Amino acid sequence: MAKETSTYIAKVDAKKRVTLRGAQYEYYSVSELDSGEILLSPRVLSSPFAVAKKSLDSMDSSMKNYRKGKVSKPIKL
C-alpha cells in the first residue's frame, strides 16, 4: 500500500473545485464514492515520445520505395 505523504484540509469552492497542494501530476482520474469520499488517481494522457502507428507505417512504406529507387525528382528549396 502507498505511504501517505501529506495531509491537509481542502475546501470545495463555489464552482465545486478543490485545489491540490504540491500536485505531482497535471491530470487525475476522479472517483466519487457514495460515502462522500473522493479518490484521485494520477493519469498520463499520452506518452510524450510515442509515434503513431500510421506514421510508422508511412515511414516504412517511404523507406521501401526509397530503397527500390522509386523517388520523386529533387526539389529546390
DSSP for residue 9: -
Cα separations in angstroms, 32 against 37, 40, 41, 73: 6, 9, 12, 60
For the chain, the structural domain boundaries read 21-69
pLDDT of residue 48: 67
CB–CB of 11/5 below 8 Å? no
CB 33 within 8 A of CB 15: no
Residue 74 confidence (pLDDT) above 90? no
pTM over 0.75: no
- Sign of the alpha-carbon torsion through 61, 67, 71, 75: positive
pLDDT digits (tens, 9 = 90+) for 3-53: 777 888 888 899 989 888 888 888 899 898 898 888 888 887 776 677 888
